[in-house]
Amino acid sequence: MTGKQRRFLRALGTGVDPIVHVGKAGVWENTLKQLEEALEAKELVKVRVLHSHDDDPKSTAKILAEAVGAELVQVVGRNILLYRPSTKKSVIELP
């Protein structure tokens, strides 16, 4: 992913509300399933890491991105922005 594409996705991500929350239990199969469904439907998903979660948000972001095959766009505070093109219908056209 180029810097221009990443910048474009970050701009789109400002208007996106967190859909998936990672809490005290951490990353489980349910969390990954919910994230998979959200990425397939929307392509750009914001994940919120709650304060009750013990791990660092950056390491959690890497784990989530690798587990679902998504591109890590950015981590700001406790918010993670992930992108993965849909296999069925592309919603976002990258520059």
Per-residue pLDDT reduced to its tens digit, 21-74 = 999 988 899 999 999 999 999 999 999 999 999 999 999 999 999 999 999 999
pLDDT at 16: 95
The model's confidence at residue 89, banded by pLDDT at 50, 70 and 90, is: confident
What average pLDDT does this structure show over 8-16?
96
Is 90 exceeded by the pLDDT of residue 4?
Answer: yes
Domains of the chain: 3-83 (3.30.110.60)
Is residue 90 over pLDDT 90? no
Are 84 and 21 in contact by the 8 Å Cβ rule? The answer is: no
DSSP letter, residue 16: P
Q: How many residues does the structure list for the chain?
A: 95
